[in-house]
Amino acid sequence: MAGLYEKQSETYAKKRPRYPKEWFYRLAGLTAGHHRAWDAGCGSGQAAVSMAEHYDSVVATDVSEGQLRHAIAHPRVRYFHTPEHLSEDDLVALVGGEGSLDFVVVATSIHWFDIPLFYAVANRALKKPGGVLAVWGYNYDVHPFGDALQGQLYGSLRPYMDPRARLAMERYRELPFPFEPVGVGAEGAPADVDMEVEMTLEDLAGFVMTGSVVTTAREKGADLEAVVRDVMKRVEKEWGDAPTVPRKLVFKAFMLAGKPKCEPILN
């Protein structure tokens, strides 16, 4: 997975939309403590630095060294490279040990994980009670251009897509999530959460070109330039007369949050 974002890591860091601060206020209010948190699959660290406003320390990990080279520095955030061969015990120790975490976040990347391994680590590392795991994602459903991006672009590139990316494209409805609901979605029914951003037409094009779906399609020989050109022409026509002026776009994101399920007490 790391290779999908390695070559374009600097552009990726610049073109990804920022997560709303309101999300972190709401989620931090669900955890009993605010000492230690983990941003798993942190990329360039945008979730990690927002988490650091609510937790004393944040461990941020990623398999991509390129992404980590462009991560946002913050005094409460420590970044670690996590090669894919690390064991469950290694990961638990790296993030702080058994029952050490108040909060775990996976921002737009859990579909790339070894999901059973990650859930095992999260269950061991989260505090019981009081610890919370939140995962979220977004795709090309960007209002008011969802028909062009999620419809036309995704439809054209779907045959070239890594099967794991379909979890995000289908809004995590098929994502296993064996955690007890805390009021933010549940397994099979993620919560709808809007992500408002200001973007120019160039920014939106940069977002499209740094997506994993586009990267995979290019590597598999898709006529990518023609597809993206047609879609972006349609978007430009709908944009209006000032493509260099930022306008408000709404990413139709989706989120799940939960706490570890209590093990039954054996008599």
Quick check: 96 pLDDT over 70? yes
In 3D space, the residue among 257, 13, 19 whose CA is nearest the CA of residue 135 turns out to be 257
Average pLDDT over the chain reads 89
Residues 126-146, mean pLDDT to the nearest whole number: 96
Q: Which pLDDT value is given to residue 196?
A: 95
How many angstroms separate the Cα of 139 from the Cα of each of 5, 57, 155, 195, 209?
16, 30, 13, 11, 13
- Residue 199 inside a domain? The answer is yes
> For the chain, what percent of residues have pLDDT higher than 70?
92
Q: Which carries the bigger pLDDT value, residue 81 or residue 13?
A: 81
The pairing of beta strand 103-107 with beta strand 36-40: parallel
Report the alpha-carbon distance of residue 23 to residue 12 in Å, rounded. 22
Using 50, 70 and 90 to split pLDDT, how confident is the model at 14?
A: low
**Residue 202 included in any domain:** yes
* Distance from C-alpha of 119 to C-alpha of 130, rounded to nearest angstrom: 17
In a domain, 266, yes or no: no
The one-letter amino acid at 142: V
- Residue 160 domain-assigned? yes
More confident residue, 262 or 85: 85
Residue 207 lies in a domain: yes
For 33-46, what is the mean pLDDT? 96
pLDDT value at position 226? 79
CA neighbor of 261 nearest in space, from 171, 187, 172: 187
219 Cβ contact list (under 8 Å, min separation 6) = none
Tens digits of residue pLDDT in 240-261: 878 888 999 999 999 999 999 8
Task: For residue 145, tell me if it sits in a domain.
Answer: yes
Tokens read off for 140: 């090309």
pLDDT, tens digit, for every residue of 148-171?
998 888 888 888 778 888 899 899
Q: How far does the chain reach from its first CA to its final CA, in angstroms?
A: 45
133 within some domain: yes
Residues 196, 249 contacting (CB under 8 angstroms): yes
- pLDDT recorded at residue 36: 98
Q: How many structural domains does the chain have?
A: 1
Beta bridge partners of 39: 60, 105
pLDDT at 217: 75
Read off the pLDDT band of 11 (50, 70, 90): very low
The answer on pLDDT for 266 being more than 60 is no
Domain hosting 133: range is 3-259
Tokens representing 206 are 């940069």
Which domain CATH number covers 122?
3.40.50.150
15 pLDDT more than 60: no
Give the other-Cβ count within 10 Å of 228's Cβ. Answer: 20
Q: Is residue 233 pLDDT above 60, yes or no? A: yes
Classify residue 264: in a domain, yes or no: no
